[in-house]
Structure 1
Amino acid sequence: MQEAIERAVAAGRGVTGTLRVGFSAAWSNELVVLAADVFRARYPGCGVQVREVQLADPFGPLRAEQLDVQLTEFPVAEPDLVTGPTIFSEPRGLIVPAKHPLMRQASASVEDMARLPMVVMSGEIPQYWLDHHYPRHTPQGRPIVHAAACTYWQEVLTLVSMGRGASPAALRAARYHMRPGIAYLPLRDADPINYGLLWRRTGATARVMAFAETVCEIAGNPGSPPNVLRTGSSSPAES
């Protein structure tokens, strides 16, 4: 009887059908899966499908309506997409060849990014996103050379392991993307990488809003309900 009541309540709120959720990083996937488990228990009439989104086309599946909501790296400033508050942040690091002289240090500075070429992502990626994650100059104005552009993350790791350059990344990637020939150094003076939810401006369904509430709660942000979310703005990510 209780399950029937819960299904009726969920149907009344429109939280039925199937919710398709995307993620762009392994650590985002963990939060999405946990939130999906809680979401299914609360809304038994709504299924959840989870899939990875490639960084080379960060908004393509969402715009193609293959996904309803996505947890991804900020900044996002797209007029057709709505961004939510920062869900969590990760310290930034630098992936370097394991035998590079930088490995004599306990950490690296953003200025050190001018000491060796950068391996960067490419594809259907907005320029402001690339400039934020792969700058071309250090804070002191030293040029940062972009030596190679990759479509998939494994290509980045391969080129770094072969000594072709370095790449900025979330420091937490060391727990998920380690291989021979590479090492991870903390970037002690870099801003963290912020992660948050986004969805189509025309796709703010009851399912999406309920899932956003669930993710905020699981991540420890119960004070960030969907009514504070903005359209086409990355300011929550930068706050």
Structure 2
Amino acid sequence: MNLQRARYLVAVADHLNFTRAAAELHVAQSALSQQIKVLEREIGVVLFDRRGPRISLTEPGIVAVREAKFLLESADRAIERIRASALGSEGELRIAHTRSWAGGAVALAVNEFRARYPKVAITEHRGYTARNTALATDGAVDIAVVRPPVDQSKLTVRILDRERLLLAVPSGHPFSTLEVVDLAQIANEPVVFWPRANGPGMYDAIVEMFWPTRAPNVVRREADDEQVLHAVAAGVGVAPMPAGRAATYRVPGVQMCEINCPPMYLTVGLAFRTDNPNLALRLFLEVVDEVVDPSLLVR
């Protein structure tokens, strides 16, 4: 798909009307319609359903529009990097961090990258794994820091780090006097959890580890780990908790316990599109290969 036909496709998809799309593009409607037909022949699928009074995208058409937008965004970013290079800059790396992790191998790689490539502008923000994955898939960020497993149909994921998974209990709870709790003991306990939509893969992995034979008795859902810990402190229930988050927040009234079984771990990874042409992304991945423990670099 060349850039011109990608722009034509996106314009028609935005308007679902060839006349209005042609007006926006300043081309004849017949020429626009012909270019879309050429694109359909090249790809070998029908992109628009033209049978009704109003055209609509087919299922392949929806995918084609998403890919066309990514192609156009990539081209725009390439132009920006070329112009930035002429001004003495070296481009930009966009990173979406996960809310449930800070520091560790990710921070090590970012800090080393900054030291090696000081002219590369790094734009960072923080969100949930599900949102970060969507941003990387759509090309809105170059790197998504995620809690695997995630949907890898469009993304490559590299595991960079891991941390222990513990059980947070209220300080007055019978478990609070124990350093180690058996899985069987928590089967019927009221549980505080965050919404599964934040990170479906991580949520399901935790449930499988802590409640392998039955669903957890979730009595309250809170927006994030900090609010979960405050609910635990209030005596609402117990909660699975990454060790790093527990250490970061240190909420009074919460005791952390280990589970009496082989150590439980959550992983942290980088998700990215291999077809992303950003040179800064490739340089960052090279830094990751050099500075992160090779035993954790699972591809």
Equivalent residue for 2:202? 129
Q: Quick check: 2:148–2:201 contact (8 Å CA) kept in 1? A: no
Give the residue type in structure 1 aligned to 2:183: V
1:203 equivalent to 2:283? Answer no
Q: Choose from 170, 186, 193 the match for 2:266.
A: 193
CA–CA distance in 2 between the matches of 1:221 and 1:126?
26
- TM superposition shift of 1:222: 8.3
> Conserved in 2, the CA contact under 8 Å of 1:28 and 1:71?
no
Residues 130, 200 of structure 2: 8 Å contact kept:
no
Q: Is 1:82–1:201's contact at 8 Å kept on the other side of the alignment?
A: yes
User: Residue 77 of structure 1 aligns with which residue?
Assistant: 151
Matched, 1:51 2:51: no
Could you tell me which residue of structure 1 aligns to residue 95 of structure 2? 21
Partner of 2:3: none
Q: Helix, strand or coil for the counterpart of 1:134?
A: helix
**Highest RCO, 1 vs 2 (Cα 8 Å, sep ≥ 6):** 1
- Correspondence for 1:105 among 166, 178, 182: 178
Distance of 2:166 and 2:246 partners within structure 1: 9
**Structure 2 partner of 1:168:** 240
Give the superposition deviation at 1:53.
1.7
The alignment's TM-score, normalised by the length of structure 1, stands at 0.74
Contact kept? 1:91, 1:193, Cα under 8 Å:
yes
The residue number in structure 1 matching 2:4 is: none
The partner residue of 1:155 within 214, 227, 247 is 227
Displacement of 1:100? 0.8
State which structure, 1 or 2, has the greater radius of gyration over its C-alpha atoms: 2
**1:179 equivalent in alignment to 2:251:** yes
Offset, 1:25: 4.7
- In structure 2, C-alpha distance between the alignment counterparts of 1:128 and 1:41, rounded to whole Å: 33
Matched length: 211
Q: Is the 8 A contact 1:216 1:222 kept in 2?
A: no
Which whole-Å deviations, capped at 9, do the CAs of 1:91-147 have from their partners, x for residues lacking one? Answer: 1101111111011211123333314122112163464432212349733x2552121
Q: For residues 58 and 159 of structure 1, do their structure 2 counterparts lie closer, same or farther at Cα, with a shift above 3 Å needed?
A: farther
Partner of 1:146: 218
Say which SS state the counterpart of residue 16 (structure 1) adopts.
coil
- CA 1:218–1:66 in structure 2 vs 1: closer, same or farther (change >3 Å)? same
Task: Say if 1:162 and 1:21 are closer, same or farther in 2 by CA, change over 3 A.
Answer: same
SS of aligned partner of 2:245:
helix
Structure 1, unpaired ranges of 5+:
1-10, 230-239
SS in 1 for 2:102: helix
What displacement does 1:80 show?
A: 1.9
Shift of 1:64: 4.9
Secondary structure (helix, strand or coil) at the match of 2:216 reads coil
Give the Å deviation of 1:184.
Answer: 1.1
Secondary structure, aligned partner of 2:152: coil
Residues of 2 paired with 1:183 and 1:56: CA distance?
A: 29
Helix, strand or coil at the partner of 2:228: helix
Confirm or deny: 8 A CA contact 1:97 1:161 kept in the other structure: yes
Residues 136-182 of structure 1, C-alpha deviations (whole Å, 9 max, x = no match): 9733x255212122223332122111111111122232320211121
Q: Shift in Å at residue 58 of structure 1?
A: 4.5
CA distance in 2, matches of 1:107, 1:204: 49
User: What is the TM-score of this pair, normalised by structure 2?
Assistant: 0.61
Q: How far off its partner does 1:205 sit?
A: 3.4
2:291 match: 218
* 1:111 partner letter: A
Pair 27,216 (structure 1): closer, same or farther in 2 beyond 3 Å? farther
Deviates more, 1:104-113 or 1:128-137: 128-137
Name the counterpart of 1:40.
114
Seq. identity, %: 22
In structure 2, do the counterparts of structure 1 residues 137 and 93 end up closer, same or farther at CA, with 3 Å as the change threshold? closer
Q: After TM superposition, give the deviation of residue 21 of structure 1 in Å.
A: 1.5
Higher strand share: 1
Deviation digits for residues 3-46 of structure 1, max 9, x if unmatched?
xxxxxxxx8xxx93110112225653454343223212322332
Q: Which amino acid in 2 is paired with 1:116?
A: E
CA RMSD of aligned residues (A): 3.0
